[in-house]
């Protein structure tokens, strides 16, 4: 049985501050002889800190003045690893590597220079990492090895545009990694490479393992016998494949994605085991399962009541994961390998009584020439036809999950129903569904957002005359397109959203430098298509009020995009407002700003309803 903990006091109304305070999250579980470690983000101070669980107690290792977060590829990930004598982590402020003993002594700086580091992996007396350097006119990426003793740096691989997942075999004789080249993204086409150790500090010429061009590979792993494994979507889903005496072969796994789109480095959603089995999590109609899988197809199910699992780890006695469910916020859990009983080690505190939590109902509905997915959350005030807020996730190649989201509960507590969409192009539903947004961004996703209003209205679940739409980043673009090209929504909110894709293509970072070519087309050859799908050029079509939220330090969607869109709407006499946050980047992190934005958005919708 899962242990879901609830707060002892019942709030009169779930406030924006409470919703933000409930946003504690976890990442990157690591287990070793010294115990279990994880990275914990708390919105109260917008810092990420390493915690150590040992002998039934958890304590924070990261001292004040440090925050453990990588910014490689802007989205980061893989910010620490266990290493000889303690751990190695990326410090957020300078992006350098530091070492620290597990006794909580002060960190020691390991690297220096104009580099960023991420995807840090242990390699004996050294660590492996993805290195990013910002040089005149270009950003370079490479794989490096760094000595723990003195920070001596060795380049292992360079020449490709991007690298991920450097992985060393148990005997230290084989190195594997993922790389890809522009214009591809890591979820469209990547390469798996290996090299063999020739002598200390020397490696053979890399050998590409996969031969099919159109496949995405992620999370390479060596098993105890030194055989290489990897997730590949060659058969339509990210599933485990393994090295055999006769080449590569798919393992007998469920026809489902065993990972999400790798926006961040350092993901761990599967692990090969010493006995030939493997631990994995995969999606079933958007709900996650966790199990130990065998080559004869049998599965030992450890899912329990949880509906999402991340960052898997294990030792002889327990399986570990960051897990969540509809009534359990993100938690670090340990599952006994024999009894399958789960216990919460950190997190999992429900800030509402369970009876007051709106539960997700799976959605699958017709849209355009296909269908779309998502989750419906009923309003909690008993209204049979409440107003609706449609949530559009960012990415757009990302996903939403059926887990406790304090933002959704904030709306449900105020009498709004919520539709959280996995529109066409989202991950967790296979490669074909993920590829459905190719050249159709601003069309297919917008169709799905509008179609869900009709779908829910036809079933009498919402008031279609009081439908609102909101989204961040790419979700903001879908929001603005829906308002510009369709008359479905009463108002909308764009959080650091894209209003001018052409301007974004000129200003965005390297990781997404060619993403728009895939989503819409070549900016020069397909200029007419861009103009057709640019909300800024069609601001005069928008008749519904819009509210904007923007970080002034945003390097992905620069603030000028929001200012241009806001001016265009004001020039057309439309009631639009904006809130700019001087110290925020792409995606808000400071608790006060998160609470302010949520409350201002609610007040904005209330004014629209009451007008």
- CA distances in angstroms from 315 to 124, 242, 359, 606, listed in the order given: 19, 22, 33, 51
What is the residue extent of each domain of the chain? 363-610
Counting Cα atoms < 13 Å in the Cβ hemisphere of 354 gives: 10
Which residue in the block uniquely carries the two structure tokens 């006794």?
A: 103
Q: Residue 356: is it exposed, middle or buried by C-beta count within 10 angstroms (0-12/13-18/19+)?
A: middle
In this model, does residue 139 exceed pLDDT 70? yes
User: 293 to each of 170, 183, 289, 320, how far by Cα in Å?
Assistant: 22, 35, 12, 16
Q: What percent of the chain has pLDDT over 70?
A: 98
Contact in structure between 496 and 557 (CB atoms under 8 Å): yes
pLDDT in tens, 197-217: 998 889 999 999 987 678 999
Using CA atoms, how far residue 53 sits from 41, 228, 314, in Å, is 16, 30, 14
Q: For the chain, give the mean pLDDT.
A: 94
Contact 360, 420 (CB under 8 A): yes
Mean pLDDT of 408-424: 97
| Position 3 pLDDT exceeds 80 | no
In this structure, whether the domain defined by 363-610 belongs to CATH 3.40.50.620 is answered with: no
The answer for residues whose C-beta is within 8 angstroms of residue 560's C-beta and 6 or more apart is 503
Supply φ then ψ for residue 321, to 5 degrees. -160, 160
Portion of the chain with pLDDT greater than 90, in percent: 86
Tally the C-alpha atoms within 13 A of residue 491's C-alpha that lie toward its C-beta. 22
Interhelix angle 474-485/444-458, rounded to 10 degrees, is 70
Task: Give the model confidence (pLDDT) of 280-291 as tens digits.
Answer: 999 988 899 999
pLDDT at 2: 38
Say yes or no to pLDDT of 8 above 80. Answer: no
Residue 1 pLDDT level (bands cut at 50, 70, 90) = very low
Q: Which residues, 6+ apart, have CB-to-CB distance to 147 below 8 Å?
A: 125, 126, 153
User: Residue range 48-70: average pLDDT?
Assistant: 95
pLDDT grade, residue 7 (50/70/90)?
Answer: very low
**What pLDDT is stored for residue 12 in this prediction?**
66
pLDDT in tens, 283-317: 988 899 999 999 999 999 999 999 999 999 999 99
* Digit-coded pLDDT (tens) for 212-263: 678 999 999 999 999 999 999 999 999 999 998 888 999 999 999 999 999 9
Residue in the structure block whose two tokens are 């009451």: 610
Can you read off the two tokens belonging to residue 277? 């089995």
What pLDDT does residue 477 have? 97
């Amino acid at each position: 049985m899962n242990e879901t903990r609830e707060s002892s006091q019942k709030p009169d109304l779930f406030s924006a501050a409470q919703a933000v305070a409930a946003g504690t999250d976890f990442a990157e579980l690591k287990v070793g002889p010294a115990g279990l470690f994880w990275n914990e983000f708390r919105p109260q101070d917008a810092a990420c800190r390493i915690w150590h669980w040992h002998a039934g107690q958890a304590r924070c290792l990261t001292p004040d003045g440090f925050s453990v977060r990588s910014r490689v590829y802007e989205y980061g990930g893989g910010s620490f690893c266990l290493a000889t004598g303690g751990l190695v982590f990326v410090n957020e402020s300078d992006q350098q590597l530091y070492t620290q003993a597990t006794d909580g002594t002060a960190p020691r700086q390991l690297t220096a220079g104009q580099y960023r580091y991420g995807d840090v992996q242990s390699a004996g007396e050294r660590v492996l990492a993805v290195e990013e350097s910002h040089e005149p006119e270009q950003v370079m990426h490479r794989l490096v090895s760094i000595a723990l003793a003195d920070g001596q740096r060795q380049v292992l691989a360079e020449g490709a545009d991007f690298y991920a997942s450097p992985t060393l075999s148990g005997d230290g004789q084989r190195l594997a990694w993922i790389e890809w080249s522009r214009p591809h993204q890591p979820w469209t086409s990547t390469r798996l490479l290996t090299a063999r150790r020739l002598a200390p500090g020397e490696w053979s010429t890399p050998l590409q393992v996969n031969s099919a061009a159109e496949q995405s590979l992620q999370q390479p792993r060596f098993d105890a016998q030194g055989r290489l494994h990897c997730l590949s979507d060659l058969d339509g889903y990210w599933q485990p494949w393994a090295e055999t005496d006769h080449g590569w072969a798919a393992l007998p796994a469920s026809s489902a994605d065993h990972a999400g789109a790798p926006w961040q480095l350092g993901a761990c959603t599967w692990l090969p085991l010493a006995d030939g089995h493997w631990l994995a999590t995969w999606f079933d109609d958007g709900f996650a399962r966790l199990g130990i899988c065998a080559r004869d197809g049998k599965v030992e199910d450890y899912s329990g009541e949880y509906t999402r699992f991340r960052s898997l780890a294990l030792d002889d006695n327990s399986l570990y994961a960051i897990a969540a469910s509809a009534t359990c916020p993100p938690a670090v859990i340990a599952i006994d390998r024999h009894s399958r009983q789960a216990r919460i080690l950190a997190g999992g505190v429900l800030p509402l009584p369970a009876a007051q939590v709106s539960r997700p109902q799976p959605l699958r509905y017709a849209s355009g020439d296909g269908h779309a997915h998502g989750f419906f959350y009923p309003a909690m005030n008993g209204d049979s036809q409440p107003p609706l807020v449609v949530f559009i996730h960012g990415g757009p190649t990302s996903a939403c999950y059926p887990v406790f989201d304090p933002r959704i509960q904030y709306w449900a507590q105020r009498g709004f129903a919520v539709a959280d969409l996995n529109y066409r192009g989202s991950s967790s539903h296979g490669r074909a569904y993920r590829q459905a947004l190719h050249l159709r961004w601003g069309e297919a996703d917008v169709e799905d957002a509008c179609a869900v209003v009709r779908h829910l209205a036809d079933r009498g679940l919402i008031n279609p005359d009081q439908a609102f739409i909101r989204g961040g980043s790419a979700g903001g673009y879908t929001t603005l397109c829906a308002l510009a090209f369709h008359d479905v929504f009463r108002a909308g909110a764009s959080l650091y959203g894209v209003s001018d894709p052409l301007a974004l293509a000129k200003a965005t970072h390297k990781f997404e430098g060619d993403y728009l070519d895939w989503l819409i087309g070549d900016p020069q050859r397909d200029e007419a298509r861009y103009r057709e799908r640019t909300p800024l050029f069609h601001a005069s079509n928008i008749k519904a009020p819009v509210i904007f939220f923007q970080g002034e330090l945003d390097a992905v969607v620069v603030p000028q995009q929001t200012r241009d869109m806001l001016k265009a709407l004001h020039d057309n006499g439309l009631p639009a407002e904006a809130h700019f946050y001087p110290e925020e980047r792409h995606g808000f992190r400071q608790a006060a700003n998160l609470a302010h934005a949520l409350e201002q958005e609610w007040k904005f919708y209330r004014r629209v309803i009451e007008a």
